[in-house]
Amino acid sequence: MKKIIIFDTTLRDGEQSPGASLTMQEKIIVAKQLAKLGVDVIEAGFPISSEGDFESVKLIAKEIKGPIICGLARTRKEDIDRAWEAVKYSKKPRIHTFIATSQVHMDNKLRKSKEEVMQMAVDAVKHARSLCKDIEFSPEDSARTDLDYMCDIIKAVIEAGATTINIPDTVGYAEPEEFGKRIKYVFEKLNNIIKSNKVVISIHCHNDLGLAVANSLEAVNNGATQVECTINGIGERAGNCSLEEVVMNLKTRKDFFKDITTGINTKEIFKTSQLVSSLTGIAVQRNKAIVGSNAFAHEAGIHQHGMLMNKLTYEIMKPEEIGWIGTTFVIGKHSGKHAVENALKEMGYDLTKEQVEKVIIKVKELADKQKVVMREDIIAIATDIAGELSKDEEIIKLDEIKVSTGNKMQPEAAVTLIIDGKKKTGTGKGVGPVDAVSHAIRTMIDPSITLKEYGLKAITGGTDALADVSIKIQDKKGNIFKAEAVNEDIMMASAIALIKGMNKALNFQRNKKGNRIHAQY
Ligand code: KIV
Ligand code: ZN
């Protein structure tokens, strides 16, 4: 059997997708679940891009056992040193360095000649190899790179010490047959050097034309043995190749992909998908292959009839194979503490005893009101509690909030806060009640802080559902801080999320530490 290496970049390329930024605690939760899922490589971040990215790659390298932990770096020496500083704590560290090789990128972005780019790639790989024995190199925008030049650069970086060569379709431009031929050509032209150096040929496809999975599978058919992908296919623009789709294609169509396997424990797929969706706030479309809520729903009468006669009529995969539990609730009014503890453990949360107690109290309160608590409710509550600030970090606390709104008045809010131990009340008006609350809070703390994004999600159906508010605020220097809060009351959830965000901004100003998000390269 040929094992395909599953390289997960949810925490790097996936996290770069608009609105997906994760805190350090959230990244650790995802990384633990990825290890449970059985991915071979976790690309944990882009360490030079921010202090927050560096710290989270370092923490993941220290804490996650099993997969290779990889950090991304441009070809600059500082990038590579920073990536090494973060990944060196892992038992299996990898540095992934890249430079664009297509004419359009070299002329317009890099303003460098082919020879200069080749030299930069070789120097970077040599330097990385002097630090770490596992080095991946990507010629960025490969799918639009001159084939022979791409092969020359691949040969040169292998000679310089690269152990994995990744061929990215950075802009999602390739068609499957064409991409497959590109991979075949690399094997034909560089067969000796690839074999004698035991180099892994990898692919990394974006989904701009909806072909990321098809292109990746075609590359596997033509010899690629590492697939780079993300959970739920999240990523820049239209996203990356979806891990669950590639893996389930290889598994379900064993007859077609002969003697090919992966190390993925597919029973963990659904759970991982739900976790990533909940933590990033990026919903999974209902009809998404494999993990969408309709993926195993049979609505049409004729289909239902067929299914009752024999499931094979319309079901090509068993829902159990991906650990599908649908929207079944897990906790009822009379469920005990252990049920909550088990649910948290199952979902990969590693909370302190105190945090677990807090989750149990909140779940019980909710079960009293809602009768049943769904899996998504527990994820939201646990995430909220995992992201709570410590006592020292809580510079501002909410004391009271009053809101008036109606169809014949401008919404108004009065918010009382405890700031550094002293009570202060502020008022504000707005286009809606949430806007009024936001004005009242910001005028008291720092009016230059702006609310960049506000998202509201009712976690489970009904008017008594939990409201999950996620926000992003920006200080005048452009630093962005993300916060989330869950409450039965939308106004309370909004106020708590804003105050959490403000606390993060104030802590950042005081300690010059925090999670700057959205790495650029
Ligand atoms: O899409 C891309 O080219 C990348 C590289 C950094 C591999 O993400
Ligand atoms: Zn990418």
Q: Which atom of ligand 1 is nearest to the CA of 240?
A: 1
Ligand 1 near 173 CB (within 6 A) = no
Which residues are CB-neighbours of 8 under 8 A, at least 6 positions away?
Answer: 34, 39, 41, 42, 43, 67, 228, 229, 230, 231, 243
Nearest Cα to 185, choosing from 227, 235, 149? 149
Task: Give the SS3 label for residue 216.
Answer: helix
Quick one: residue 60, left, alpha or beta (phi over 0 = left, psi -120 to 50 = alpha)? alpha
> Which tens digits make up the pLDDT trace of 321-374?
999 865 455 566 667 778 788 878 777 677 888 888 988 888 888 877 766 677
Residue nearest to atom 2 of ligand 1 (CA): 170
- C-alpha 324 – ligand 1 centre gap (Å): 31
Mutate which of 7, 166, 171, 204 for ligand 1 pocket (most atoms within 8 A of beta carbon) = 204
Ligand 1 near 71 CB (within 6 A) = no
Tokens representing 510 are 């005081």
Write down the pLDDT at residue 303. 67
298 vs 205, residue with greater confidence:
205
Range with lowest mean pLDDT among 83-87, 184-188, 219-223, 426-430: 426-430
169 vs 315, residue with greater confidence:
169
Report the share of the chain in percent with pLDDT over 90: 61
Residue 90's CB is within 10 A of a number of other CB atoms, namely 25
Q: Which atom of ligand 1 is nearest to the CA of 13?
A: 8
Q: What is the mean pLDDT of residues 421-450?
A: 91
Task: Give the SS3 label for residue 100.
Answer: strand
The dihedrals phi and psi of 15, each to the nearest 5 degrees, come to -70, -15
| Count of CA atoms in the C-beta half-sphere (13 A) of 460 | 20
Nearest Cα to 248, choosing from 224, 275, 229, 234? 229
Average pLDDT, the chain: 89
* Residues 79 and 73 sit within 8 Å (Cβ to Cβ): yes
Ligand 1 near 79 CB (within 6 A) = no
Residue nearest to atom 1 of ligand 1 (CA): 170
Write down the pLDDT at residue 517. 32
Strands annotated E in 121-241: 135-140, 164-169, 200-205, 226-229
Range with lowest mean pLDDT among 120-129, 403-412, 426-435, 464-473: 464-473
Tokens representing 115 are 């020879």
Ligand 1 near 13 CB (within 6 A) = yes
Ligand 1 near 442 CB (within 6 A) = no
Q: What number of residues does the chain have?
A: 521
Q: Looking at the CA of 142, which ligand is closest?
A: 1
Q: Looking at the CA of 169, which ligand is closest?
A: 1
Ligand 1 near 168 CB (within 6 A) = yes
Tell me how far the alpha carbon of residue 454 is from its chain's centroid: 19
- pLDDT exceeds 60 at position 519: no
- pTM for the predicted model, two decimal places: 0.78
Confidence of residue 77 (pLDDT cuts 50, 70, 90): very high
* Residues 269 and 284 sit within 8 Å (Cβ to Cβ): no
> Which tens digits make up the pLDDT trace of 96-154?
999 999 999 999 999 999 999 999 999 999 999 999 999 999 999 999 999 999 999 99
Q: Looking at the CA of 45, which ligand is closest?
A: 1
Mutate which of 48, 75, 98 for ligand 1 pocket (most atoms within 8 A of beta carbon) = 98
> Which tens digits make up the pLDDT trace of 226-281?
999 999 999 989 999 999 999 999 999 999 999 999 999 999 999 899 889 888 87
Q: What distance in Å separates the CA atoms of residue 337 and residue 341, rounded to the nearest whole number?
A: 6
Mutate which of 206, 228, 241, 521 for ligand 1 pocket (most atoms within 8 A of beta carbon) = 206
Residue 107 DSSP class = I
Residue nearest to atom 8 of ligand 1 (CA): 13
Write down the pLDDT at residue 460. 65
- C-alpha 84 – ligand 2 centre gap (Å): 20
Q: What distance in Å separates the CA atoms of residue 480 and residue 450, rounded to the nearest whole number?
A: 10
Confidence of residue 79 (pLDDT cuts 50, 70, 90): very high
Q: What is the mean pLDDT of residues 56-67?
A: 98
Write down the pLDDT at residue 455. 83
Residue nearest to atom 3 of ligand 1 (CA): 170
Residue 371's CB is within 10 A of a number of other CB atoms, namely 11
Tokens representing 28 are 């650790």
